[in-house]
Chains A and B, each alone.
Chain A
Amino acid sequence: MRKLVLVLPFLLSGCAAVQAYFMAKFDVNEYQYIARIRTHAEIGSGLCGTPAVKDEVKYIYVVAHEYKNYAQHIPRNDESVKLSQTLNQITDEFYKKYQGDKEPSAAYCRAKFTAIAQSADNIQKVLGAKPR
């Protein structure tokens, strides 16, 4: 009750502090999705140029979609939703490239995995720092 009284002025002011106070808390599933994407991107990079790489590309594509869908309906989770959507732009293109007749080059493959791993690492840092 005391806390509510203290929070009331913030509530009424409608400022950024209110949004920050009520932001979505740390979510272990969300964190696990992004850690998994990063891990498979790191592993996948060593498989570029081999037939096994296709499975890694598809796996990352699926998990990135899972992360986006999972984050989507969590209340006050706008930033994570935006991050998942932006990351999907990279993973979707990568997956499409491997659906074509022409095999992508190993250099392109490594660069894509690096982009995904690096982006996932950046996202993981901020998801991990969400309030408990």
Chain B
Amino acid sequence: MNAQMILNEIYGTPVQDPAVLALAQQLEQFTKDYESGAMSKDEYIELLADFKTQQLIIAQCNDLAAKERLNSIVNVVINAASVLV
């Protein structure tokens, strides 16, 4: 899958996460830089690997955010229950 295909996939997604959109802009920018000869192939390959790593960071952040939301819900339930008991 090349950079343009990844970008088409991201921009074609109905629900657009701002973090993913920022990532797409980065990919667009450094792909342009590579195509204009501003960076070497090795550097571009490393940045593509970072792109995957950043996707992983976004997924891990979403996991932690979900746990935080669940923590809030559990606390609300426990506090409500302790009032009733």
The answer for the CA separation of A106 and B56 in the assembled complex, in Å, is: 26
Interface size on B, residues (CB 8 A): 39
Total A-B pairs in contact (CB under 8 Å)? 115
A115 and B78 contact, CB distance less than 8 A: no
Within 8 Å of chain B (Cβ to Cβ): is A108?
yes
Contacts of B70 in A (CB 8 A): 16-17, 20
Question: From DSSP, what is the main secondary structure of chain B's interface residues?
Answer: helix
Q: Give the bracket for the number of chain A residues in contact with chain B.
A: 35 or more
The residues of B with any CB-CB pair to A shorter than 8 Å are: 19, 22-23, 26, 29-30, 33-34, 38-40, 43, 46-47, 49-51, 53-54, 56-58, 60-61, 63-65, 67-68, 70-75, 78, 81-82, 85
**Interface pairs A-B: 7 shortest CB-CB:** A20-B70, A107-B38, A108-B43, A107-B33, A79-B64, A111-B30, A20-B71
